[in-house]
Chains A and B, each alone.
Chain A
Amino acid sequence: MTDIPPSATDQAKPRAGWFFNPYTQISLSIILAAAAQLCLKKGADKAVPELWLGIEGLRSGWVWLGICAMVTGLFSWLYSLRFVPLNIAFTLAGLEQVLVPLGSWLLLGEHIGPTRACGILLVCAGVFTVARPLMHVEEKL
């Protein structure tokens, strides 16, 4: 890591205590983001599948729970970005690609065949590969 982005070398110090540790927060944000997807799926299952837009999913409490998890996760993410270098953050965020299928298998009881499992692994590998170059793109946007 020769090129640490200026945002990561922020002079601010994280607050004391394990809860405010940037890595606790970044893990929390990733787990919340994955949990949000699982909640949304649970809510979406109750929606009428005829429509393109899942607006009527808003009637389900699961969808709202998912939205709350998303928003809370976003705050943890933004907080930890002040302290964690972007390339590490993006690599860790790639773990979502593992957590979500794992959760849908364990918690939602979805069947994941060998073809799908291989596809998921390839996507993960790709996501990890682009994490570092993606950092440069993010900075320039």
Chain B
Amino acid sequence: MVLISETCSVAGQIFFKHAMGGKGARGVNIAWGVAVKALGFFLWVGLMSKVDLSYLFPFDGLNRVLLMFGASIFLKEKMTLNLWVGVALICAGVMLVSRS
């Protein structure tokens, strides 16, 4: 659930970016961005009603990890050492939090 919510948020972000950059149909991109972001938002609030905020919020760090992987796959962005270290730290932290 957390992953779906975060993926929606990242996808929405990318649609907005495209709309700003003028790639493709602007109206369509904005509409998709709003729709996907809204879905991510409501999933997030739904999750909040179930668990502690201090438990849920660290998962927001995965947002950056997803953005990174999205960029390396779709934009052929190179993964630098710094990125790997950061991604590993975030994942390790999220794993610890999910055990608490």
Which secondary structure dominates where chain B touches chain A? helix
Q: Are the CB atoms of B90 and A127 closer together than 8 Å?
A: yes
Interface residues on B, range: 35 or more
B61 touches A137 (CB 8 A): no
Chain A 29-69 interface 0/1 with B at a Cβ cutoff of 8 Å (1 = within): 00000000110110111011101111101000001000000
Check if A140 sits within 8 Å of B55, measured CB to CB.
no
Interface size on A, residues (CB 8 A): 51
> Does more than half of chain A's interface fall in helix, strand or loop, or is it mixed?
helix
With A127-B86, A129-B89, A134-B68 known as contacts, the answer to whether A104 contacts B52 (CB < 8 A) is yes
- In the bound assembly, the distance between CA atoms of A129 and B60 in angstroms comes to 15
Interface positions of B from 70 to 100, Cβ below 8 Å from A? 71, 75, 77, 80, 82-83, 85-100
In the complex, residue of chain B having the shortest beta-carbon distance to the beta carbon of A123: B93
Q: Bound state CA distance, A36 and B84, in angstroms?
A: 30
Whether a CB of chain B sits under 8 angstroms from the CB of A108 is yes
Shortest distance from the beta carbon of B74 to any chain A beta carbon, whole Å: 9
Instruction: Indicate if the CB atoms of B86 and A104 lie closer than 8 Å.
Output: no
Whether A122 pairs with B64 at a CB distance below 8 angstroms is no
Residues of B within 8 A of A (CB): 1, 14, 17-18, 21, 42-50, 52-55, 57-58, 60-61, 64, 67-68, 71, 75, 77, 80, 82-83, 85-100
Bound CA span A118–B14, Å: 31
Which residue from A112, A123, A128, A140 sits with its C-beta under 8 Å from B71? A140
**Taking the complex as formed, is A88 at the interface, i.e. its CB lies under 8 A from any CB of chain B?**
no
Q: Could you tell me the distance in whole angstroms from the C-beta of A126 to the nearest C-beta in chain B?
A: 3
